[in-house]
Amino acid sequence: MKFGGTSVEDARAMENVIGIVAKEQRRKPIVVLSAIAGATNTLLKSAHIALDGDLENAHAELNRLLERHVTLLENLISNRSEIQHLILTIRKRFDELKTLCQGIAILGELTNRSLDAIASVGEQLSTMILTHALAERGFAVEMVDARTFMITNDQFAAAAPDFVLISQEARARILPPIQAGKIVVTQGFIGSTRKGITTTLGRGGSDYSAAIIGAALDAEEIQIWTDVDGVLTADPRIAPAAMKLKVISFREASELAYFGAKVLHPSTILPAVEKNIPVIVLNSKRPQSTGTRIVGHPPKSSAAVKSIASKKGITVINIQSSRMLMAYGFLSAIFSVFQKHKTSVDLVSTSEVAVSLTIDNISNLEQIVSELQEFAEVSVFDQKAIVCVVGEQMRSTVGIVDRVFGALHDINVIMISQGASEINMSLVVDEDVVTQAVQQLHREFFEPVPELDLFEQVDA
C-alpha cells in the first residue's frame, strides 16, 4: 500500500491512511510512504538556495517545513511525552539539514549525492510519524528503513535498483515482522548503495518503490493510494471532465506513465508485470471508490481510445544527410551517438532523407549535436510537448487517425509516431498548445461520456 504526498499531508490525511491500513490488516499490509506533500520540493529548494549563498532563506524554508511536521505530530499523537520526544528527534534532523546547507553554501557546490541525502529526510520523517501514530492506536507496527533493502547503484538522483539484492534483502528485513503479525511501514523513493550511501530513485519514485517491494515479496496486490479516483481518461487538471477507467492493461498503463500521466511513476509497472501482480490505483480521500485495476489481460472493451497523456519539456532533433541517404548504418550511426551520451530517445519518425526524434534529457545536447553534425545536418527545436493517445483496441479500430487529426485541425502537429505495438499514437506539438490539444482530444473521444461500462464518472 503506497500513499503519496497528499495522502499524508496533514493529520486528517494520516488518519485516513490509518483507517485504510486498518481495514487491510488481515491481508498483512506493507505501507510505503512518500514525504508529506511539498516536502521534497522544499528540501531540494533549500539546498539550491543555500548554493546561491542565501543561508538565511534556506533556513527559513527548513523552519517552515519543521513547523509543518510539528503541527502534524501535535494533531496526530496525543501522548505529550511522546510528542516531546518526537519533536526533539525531528529538530535534530533539521539541525543536520541546516549543517548540510551551511556546507553547501561554504563550498559553493551541490552534488546529486548531497541532494539525495537531503531529499531523503522527507520520507524518513513521514514514516516515523505514521509508525508512532499506528503504535499509539494499538497496532503492532514496525518501521523498516528502506535503505536496508532498497539497494541501488550510485547514480544519485536517479539510482537504478539492484533487483536481485533487493529481493533477498527485502525478504530478510520485511518478512519477519510481517510473519510476527506486524504492519510494516517503510519509505518510498529512497534507497542506498551497497556501501550504505543514501540514494533516491528519482522524483515520484515512491510508486516504483512500492512496485519493487511488491514484486520482491510476491505481494497479492500493489495499491497506489493518491489524490484522484484512479487512472483517468486524462489529467483532470487539464481536462476537468476526465473519467475514471475501471480497468486497463499493464501495457496501456506503462505507455500512459511513460508519456506523462503523473499518477504513476514511469517504471512502476515493470516489476508488477514480471510477477503478474495487479496494481490498483485508489483515492485516499475517497477510499470507498473502487479505483482502477491495472492487470495483464483486462476484459476486452470496445473503447478504442482509453486515455490521453502529455509531457512537456520535449526537444525535437531533425537529422538529415543526403550522403547517408539509403545507406545502411545511418540509423545505427545516429543511435550510437545517443547511446554514448546516455540519452534516451522517446519518439522516432523516419523518412527517406531525414530522421526526427525527441528527447527530454538535454544535459548532453551540445555534444550530441556536434557529433551528429560530423555526418548529417542537424536542427534542434525546443519547448515542444508530446501528446499520447493510448488504447489496446486502437489497432483494430478504423478511423482513429481521422478523429485524432479532426480534433486537432487547428493545431500544428510537428511530428507523428505510432508505437510499434500500435497501442498508442504520439504527436509532437508546441508546448504552449499542449493543453488545448489534450482538451480537444478529450472532447472528441470522451465528451459526451461514451456508453461503455469501462468508464466511470468522477464525483466532484
Q: Interface with ligand ADP includes 228 (CB under 6 A)?
A: yes
Name the amino acid, one letter, at 205. G
From candidates 133, 174, 263, 454, binder to ligand ADP by CB under 6 A: 263
Q: Interface with ligand ADP includes 232 (CB under 6 A)?
A: yes
CA quadruple 138, 282, 256, 9: dihedral sign: negative
Binding part of the chain for ligand ADP, among 60-68, 90-98, 233-241, 315-323 by CB under 6 A, reads: 233-241
The entry of Mg ion, ligand ASP, ligand ADP, none near residue 261 (CB within 5 to 8 angstroms by kind) is ligand ADP
Buried/exposed 54-85: b ≥16 CB within 10 Å, e otherwise: bbeebbebbeebbebbbebbeebbeeeeebee
One character per residue 220-259, x = contact with ligand ASP (rule: CB under 6 A): ----------------------------------------
Q: How far apart are CA 143 and CA 180, in angstroms?
A: 13
Binding part of the chain for Mg ion, among 2-10, 43-51, 81-89, 146-154 by CB under 5 A, reads: 2-10
Q: Interface with ligand ASP includes 4 (CB under 6 A)?
A: yes
Question: Which residue has the closest beta carbon to ligand ADP?
Answer: 4
Contact 208, 268 (CB under 8 A): yes
Q: Interface with ligand ASP includes 34 (CB under 6 A)?
A: yes
Contact 439, 238 (CB under 8 A): yes
The entry of ligand ASP, ligand ADP, Mg ion, none near residue 418 (CB within 5 to 8 angstroms by kind) is none
From candidates 177, 204, 230, 391, binder to Mg ion by CB under 5 A: 204
Q: Least CB distance from residue 334 to ligand ASP, whole Å?
A: 33
Helix ranges, 286-428 (H): 330-340, 365-372, 400-407
Measure the CA angle with vertex 128, ends 127 and 133; round to 5°: 95
Specify the DSSP class assigned to residue 232: B
Q: Least CB distance from residue 89 to ligand ASP, whole Å?
A: 20
From candidates 227, 431, 444, 456, binder to ligand ADP by CB under 6 A: 227
Q: Least CB distance from residue 350 to ligand ADP, whole Å?
A: 29
The entry of ligand ASP, ligand ADP, Mg ion, none near residue 307 (CB within 5 to 8 angstroms by kind) is ligand ADP
CA–CA distance from 236 to each of 37, 252, 378, 435 (Å)?
19, 18, 37, 11
Buried/exposed 254-281: b ≥16 CB within 10 Å, e otherwise: bbbbbbbbbbbbbbbbebbbeeebbbbb
Closest CA relative to residue 455, chosen from 442, 438, 436:
442
Q: Is 384 helix (H, G, I), strand (E, B) or coil?
A: strand
Q: Is 201 helix (H, G, I), strand (E, B) or coil?
A: coil
Q: Which residues bind ligand ADP (CB under 6 A)?
A: 4-7, 34, 204, 226-228, 231-232, 234-237, 256, 261-263, 307
Q: Which residues bind ligand ASP (CB under 6 A)?
A: 4-5, 34-35, 40, 122, 188-189, 203-206
Q: Which residues bind Mg ion (CB under 5 A)?
A: 4, 204
